[in-house]
Amino acid sequence: MGHPQPPWVTVLYFARSAELVGLRSESVSVPQRITSLQLWEEIVKIHPRLAVIRDQVVFAVRQEYVLLGDQLLVLQTGDEVAIIPPISGG
């Protein structure tokens, strides 16, 4: 039996993040219990170019805004995690 499978979440990339990644969405396997900052670091491991927007990004997890930090997320397979950079061009 062993451990339950880690959840697969759908990461949605918007605006600048989509340009950096070259994708609009993808499925990523993540730990079920993870802080928002750790989740960001997992995604940056896959797409190192995202590091440049680190300070401006917010997540939307199940359509609720989450700032990067030590807020604990409990993720389920099928959850959507949107990466929302600042909308303005700066």
Give average pLDDT by consecutive 10-residue segment, the chain, 90 residues. Answer: 83 95 97 96 97 93 93 96 77
Structural domains of the chain in order of their starting residue, each with its CATH number: 8-84 (3.10.20.30)
Question: What is residue 90's predicted lDDT score, i.e. its pLDDT?
Answer: 47
For the chain, give the DSSP string. --SPPPPEEEEEE-HHHHHHHT-SEEEEE--SEEEHHHHHHHHHHH-GGGGGGGGG-EEEETTEEEESSS-EEE--TT-EEEEE--SS--
Question: What is residue 85's predicted lDDT score, i.e. its pLDDT?
Answer: 86
Question: What is residue 5's predicted lDDT score, i.e. its pLDDT?
Answer: 85
Question: What is residue 88's predicted lDDT score, i.e. its pLDDT?
Answer: 59
